[in-house]
Amino acid sequence: MQLTDRIGRRMKLHDLHVLMVVTQAGSMSKAAALLNTGQPAISRSIADLERALGVRLLDRNRHGIAPNAYGRALLDGATVVFDDLRQTVRNIEFLADPTIGELRVGCSVFLATSFVAAVIDRLSRRYPRICFRLVTAQVEALPRELIERNVDLMITRKSSPVEDDRLDYEFLFDESYSVAVGAKNAWARRRRVDLADLINEPWVLPPPRHPTGLVAAEAFRASGLDFPPAAVIAEPAEVRISLLATGRFISIFPDSILRFSARHPELKVLPVKRPLSRIPVEIATLKNRTISPLVQLFIDSCRQLAKRRTK
């Protein structure tokens, strides 16, 4: 019997699902508990798969059960199969009623609280039955979330000249940066400010290797200045916004936060003469994966908002 015949007649989606749960749980007993079934049924599913393929799929070690090379290869294919099925079901749901469905968006925290939040607000007003699931992660970790089908698309800053060839990228806008203070800060009333004027002020900045920290370092270097000693080093933008609201501190933010954040009225952009660097923001989808109508709807809304933003 040919392998394709064995797949069609003997390999079941249920057994593939069992294999995925077993490898995630690390044992058949844990998988049985998760699937609310008995361990013999779990063993039977794994045995059926191994008979259909003619190879062992799992190895035992002191930590439990783990897939071998054959098992990992099957799991990679199973991930694609189940992802395609989920996409198909979503497409059918969308065709039946284009106002419902779940969309999983991967992005950084700062984009989630600014540009992405603005897109979601626009869409949810028109389609209140769409569920948006945000998966936030560091920029470097987002491609993996998309490749492993944990998200449907991602909105990200371009972190390096080399982009993953498994993904399709589309430019949305150049993210510009500004120096900002709280509305009560005395610098907020100045009509012209040089970076040199601010060198001895209390700065609250992200870590030096954070994208915003790199932009800040480049701005001071371009002005012939040393990087100022930060009074506070904090990565979350929310922390820096809270400190600026006291009227004492100065920081640098992406303009998306200043424009789209609900706390924007508490901040004032300083008219610093030298413009800061720009970083492209892109939307990425998986190559060779059908774009669902819901994903397309979100992409179109991103394009519209990005176009308005650049005017």
We report the CATH number of the domain holding residue 44 as 1.10.10.10
Asked if pLDDT for residue 274 goes beyond 80, the answer is no
Residues 57 and 108 in one domain: no
d(CA 253, CA 261): 11
Going edge to edge, which strands form the sheet with 230-233?
A: 230-233, 203-205, 250-254, 177-182, 267-269
Is position 256 within any domain? yes
CB of 149 within 8 A of CB of 81? no
Residues 17 and 57 in one domain: yes
Give the residue with greater pLDDT, 111 vs 210: 111
Residues 162 and 186 in one domain: no
Of the candidates 33, 50, 78, which is a domain's last residue? 78
What global pTM score does this model have? Answer: 0.66
What would the mean pLDDT of 50-65 be, rounded to a whole number? 85
**Over the stretch 143-199, which tens digit does the pLDDT of each residue have?**
999 998 899 999 998 866 667 889 999 999 988 888 999 988 999 988 888 888 998
Asked if pLDDT for residue 250 goes beyond 90, the answer is yes
Q: Which residue range forms the structural domain that includes residue 219?
A: 177-277
Residues 188 and 268 in one domain: yes
Residues 166 and 210 in one domain: no
Residues 64 and 209 in one domain: no
What would the mean pLDDT of 252-266 be, rounded to a whole number? 73
Q: How many domains does the chain have?
A: 3
Asked if pLDDT for residue 273 goes beyond 80, the answer is no
Asked if pLDDT for residue 291 goes beyond 70, the answer is yes
Residues 163 and 199 in one domain: no
pLDDT band, residue 283 (cuts 50/70/90): very high
Residue 232 is predicted with a pLDDT of 93
Of the candidates 46, 78, 110, which is a domain's last residue? 78
Mean pLDDT check: name the lowest of 25-34, 80-89, 171-180, 201-210.
80-89
Residues 305 and 244 in one domain: no
We report the CATH number of the domain holding residue 232 as 3.40.190.10
Residues 260 and 284 in one domain: no
**Would you state the structure tokens that stand for residue 110, as one six-digit string?**
């700062």
**Over the stretch 109-140, which tens digit does the pLDDT of each residue have?**
888 988 999 999 999 999 998 999 999 988 88
Residues 286 and 271 in one domain: no
Is position 87 within any domain? no
**Over the stretch 29-50, which tens digit does the pLDDT of each residue have?**
898 888 889 888 999 988 888 8
Residue 162 is predicted with a pLDDT of 66
- Burial class from Cβ neighbours inside 10 Å (0-12, 13-18, 19+) for residue 160 reads exposed
Residue 1 is predicted with a pLDDT of 45
Residues 216 and 73 in one domain: no
Count of beta carbons in the 10 Å neighbourhood of residue 88: 12
pLDDT band, residue 261 (cuts 50/70/90): low
Is position 83 within any domain? no
Instruction: Show Cβ contacts of residue 53 under 8 Å, excluding neighbours closer than 6 positions.
Output: 3, 6, 11, 70, 74
